[in-house]
Structure 1
């Protein structure tokens, strides 16, 4: 059952009416469900319970400290892609020994911070990067446990902007060069290759690309061990999709069974890095209708949320369900609307010709499946302050990031002396 459902004619987050949250914090705002976060994590933990596996939350999907802490309390690790995300993971209660640092462009400062923290593993993506890491590790007198992220040249069959496992993508080292780069890395001081990492993309709705990638990784593992490398870990990345519209993503139990069939006899500890599938459908964006505008050929619903708050429809042509917070009458007629925001861009559009019940000014609407890559990708474009994030737990809710004021935004700028009166 969804954590967001109509009760007595009003959409609730668990047991809290969204209208009550709107009355207290204003609109727009993000709302997350603790019960949904816990249920999604437990689905992974349960499916992989019989395997030697760690579930490491991909922090980039939603990096709010309260969200991270909710997963930390359940025993999650973290996959991070920047020094800032590593600090968030640590501040959220993820032990350093459960953190994996991924990403194609780590700086020496980030490497130093990761090694000083004593994180579980650093996933490197090029020879120049591992050479830099070697220098940093030697300067600290430590040994860095690494995996190379291997690009298996597998088409994930997802959106081009979130596919990461083909030869033309910037990520990882080419599969055909993996043996060579592991040999080079093993000769560097302060470096210990302990794992192979792979990640082919996000929002996958078919197990076949995963299987193809994992089978290539398993084959590579045998070659590397024959070469004398003590590889004891496999980082299988994330990427399981969620339902935005009519998608049919694989069941996590089927995914776990597939992983076991390929890796179960390899003697490796497995790391999984789910992000979207943990938080995507655990969050929504609540907005208010400002105006209805009748154009020559279109009817527009102008809401107070905008592309700076949720950029996925603009960036990825992504679909998000949109529903009124007040439950429509059964069988209510619908009309086609373009749902748009107030930002001065034609791309500031959430839906085109979407069939919705008759809309009215001041009405609340919920944009669904917004828990992943929503608030975390927001900006202050058009000097629009960052909006609140709210976490619900049963019949309680708490603001976990307050609304930023325009005054706070202006206070970040500095005018040089020669421009002052």
Structure 2
């Protein structure tokens, strides 16, 4: 945990809004995954946070990358990843993404039967299975539900595997990912059991990739035991793809109070909002909020951002001491899908990012300027 004094110092040095990351927690999260899953191959779901400095740390630690866009494949290449260290996923891969993945020698995760004919010649592939389960997370995060756009049905799996072999591809195994921020370990048990039922139709496989999606408080050893049991049914090596789990707790969004407003509710207005942290508005996500000033919590506040949107709230019903303009708040568990989903809506430059290594701060992303925001626009004067 980054000491309070260092959070205050970072905000003074780099300004706010500001994302900060704790290197010790990044390392600890990876160690927890490896302790639970043993010799399973770990791939980081890059969409959670693609900062190049964080990716280089993971690459140095032997972690591979799961990429879902040409830009993410380019980031993997930038940090030196390739071959078995890269997975290319997604339900609607582009020609450019197939080409970029092939150039790196990546393994493709086949999301639909028609994709077999789109793969580059001689590709390595896994088949993504949709187990059609109702799981304990927000609907927008439930990727293994029957109504989601991801994967093939269990009944389609044998045909897709056969088609891959007939087309000259290396069908290495199966993949499943049922969602993100899943609270109930039984959801994973059900998914792994659904996969194991396919063994009679697939025979042994080289790889079983069970994705990620575990909540930050998940029982990893329990989930890992069941994942290994499913892999053993197929005689397969186990692969996992944590994203949020590896980076969420390491990240904190620092934001300053701008003022207060008492109407039908008490609002604490801050310089960060939906453009910096979209998850509360998009998923109803709840992030812990800590006051970095002293005092007794006497009132309950809604922490509201500066956008002209009623949904621009970072948190509701937070007990805080009486705030003053400039007071600093820490929004926790913000290392995943925080900076990566930040936007320039309202021409708000995206925030800076800094890494604390236990000794000193390192700036790992500079704060954008308004000029950065419109740099790609072609300004036609007098039109």
TM-score, length of structure 1 as denominator length:
0.87
**Alignment partner of 2:267: what SS?**
strand
CA separation in 1, counterparts of 2:83 and 2:10? 35
**Alignment partner of 1:151: what SS?**
coil
Preserved contact between residue 265 and residue 301 of structure 2 (Cα < 8 Å): yes
Structure 1 segments of 4+ aligned residues over 3 angstroms from their partners:
93-96
Give the deviation of 1:181 after TM superposition: 2.3
CA separation in 2, counterparts of 1:93 and 1:33? 24
CA separation in 1, counterparts of 2:228 and 2:177? 17
Q: Find the structure with the greater CA-based Rg.
A: 1
1:406 to 346, 358, 370: 370
Which ranges in structure 2 are unaligned for 5 or more consecutive residues? none
CA separation in 2, counterparts of 1:313 and 1:28? 16
CA separation in 1, counterparts of 2:126 and 2:186? 24
CA separation in 2, counterparts of 1:175 and 1:257? 23
Q: Which residue of 1 aligns with 2:225?
A: 257
> Paired residues, what number?
383
Matches within 5 A, 1:120-131: 121-131=107-117
CA separation in 1, counterparts of 2:186 and 2:153? 20
CA separation in 1, counterparts of 2:137 and 2:233? 30
Answering whether residue 37 of structure 2 is matched by residue 48 of structure 1, we say yes
1:213 to 168, 191, 196: 191
Q: Which residue of 2 aligns with 1:311?
A: 278
CA separation in 1, counterparts of 2:261 and 2:109? 51
Q: Which residue of 1 aligns with 2:161?
A: 182
Q: Which residue of 1 aligns with 2:20?
A: 31
> CA offsets, 1:300-329, max 9 Å, x none?
111000101100111111111111123x34
CA separation in 1, counterparts of 2:79 and 2:320? 39
Flag the 1:123–1:256 CA change in 2: closer, same or farther, 3 A: same
Q: Which residue of 2 aligns with 1:320?
A: 287
Which ranges in structure 1 are unaligned for 5 or more consecutive residues? 6-10, 138-142, 243-248
1:101 to 85, 88, 98: 88
Preserved contact between residue 196 and residue 221 of structure 1 (Cα < 8 Å): no
Give the deviation of 1:365 after TM superposition: 0.6
Q: Which residue of 1 aligns with 2:182?
A: 204
Q: Which residue of 1 aligns with 2:126?
A: 147
Q: Which residue of 1 aligns with 2:205?
A: 231
Preserved contact between residue 201 and residue 239 of structure 1 (Cα < 8 Å): yes
